[in-house]
């Protein structure tokens, strides 16, 4: 199985209330100061910042500017899905400080991954009602019934390990059951829609300039001189 990681924000909400929630979300991401802060916190990942040293002429400059424009749009585009099975709206959001105004709209952020053990504490799931039902069902199973249900086919190889720490296997199974629900929504197209914070060419243009200015400031070069030269060349 390929490795994966995804930071996902959950909002328990009825479908009919999603539009109202999205309006609140849009009010935050539509604020130009907020957009500028996102770019300010992320510009080191932009194509211009990483490959600007390759710019030798105007043609190079235009190419990297276009790539950075696409990066800005992607950076300020939010991916949502509505998960019917658990009655939740989900959005790909990381728990970094700039996202705090958005995260406050949600009930819980959960980080899914398969790069290390997945025996998340059962309390990790309790804020989401339908996840709580899953872990409570597993938690109350006696160890023999649990083992026979989930590991019987591997009985000879697994029993000794299971007997040493049955709760490890229970916690891991809870993760697997929840991941089976979430995977088609996170990495597939199920229930998916997108929301962009950038609504005009001028907004995108200014945010791209913000990235380029950061690059030239960092490299102690004169962005304003370059910017004015562009104006004169047009």
Contact 38, 59 (CB under 8 A): no
Q: Which class for 145: exposed (0-12), middle (13-18), buried (19 or more C-beta within 10 A)?
A: exposed
Closest CA to 198 of 87, 69, 81, 44: 69
Looking at residue 98, its pLDDT comes to 79
Q: Which class for 184: exposed (0-12), middle (13-18), buried (19 or more C-beta within 10 A)?
A: middle
Per-residue pLDDT of the chain (234 residues; tens, 9 = 90+): 578 999 999 999 999 999 999 999 999 999 999 999 999 998 889 888 887 766 767 777 788 889 999 999 999 999 999 999 999 999 999 888 778 999 999 999 999 999 888 999 988 999 999 999 999 999 888 888 888 877 766 666 677 777 788 888 889 999 999 999 999 999 998 989 999 998 888 999 999 999 888 877 765 555 455 555 554 555
Answer whether 0.85 is exceeded by the pTM: no
Tell me the three state secondary structure of residue 3: coil
């Amino acid at each position: 199985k390929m490795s994966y990681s995804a930071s996902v924000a959950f909002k328990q909400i009825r479908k009919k209330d999603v539009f109202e929630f999205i309006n609140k979300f849009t009010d935050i991401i539509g604020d130009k100061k907020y957009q500028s802060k996102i770019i300010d916190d992320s510009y080191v990942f932009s194509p211009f910042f990483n490959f600007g040293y390759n710019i030798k002429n105007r043609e190079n400059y235009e190419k990297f500017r276009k790539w950075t424009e696409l990066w800005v749009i992607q950076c300020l585009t939010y991916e949502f899905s509505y998960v019917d099975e658990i009655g939740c709206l989900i959005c790909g959001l990381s728990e970094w400080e700039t996202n705090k105004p958005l995260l406050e709209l949600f009930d819980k952020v959960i980080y899914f991954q398969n790069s290390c053990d997945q025996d998340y504490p059962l309390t990790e799931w309790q804020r989401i009602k339908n996840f709580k039902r899953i872990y409570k069902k597993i938690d109350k199973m006696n160890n023999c019934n649990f083992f026979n249900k989930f590991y019987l086919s591997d009985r000879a190889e697994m029993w000794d390990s299971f007997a040493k720490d049955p709760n490890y296997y229970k916690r891991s199974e809870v993760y697997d059951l929840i991941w089976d629900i979430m995977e088609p929504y996170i990495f597939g197209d199920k229930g998916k829609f997108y929301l962009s914070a950038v609504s005009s060419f001028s907004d995108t243009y200014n945010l791209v300039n913000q990235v380029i200015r950061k690059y030239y400031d960092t490299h102690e070069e004169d962005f304003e001189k370059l910017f004015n030269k562009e104006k004169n060349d047009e």
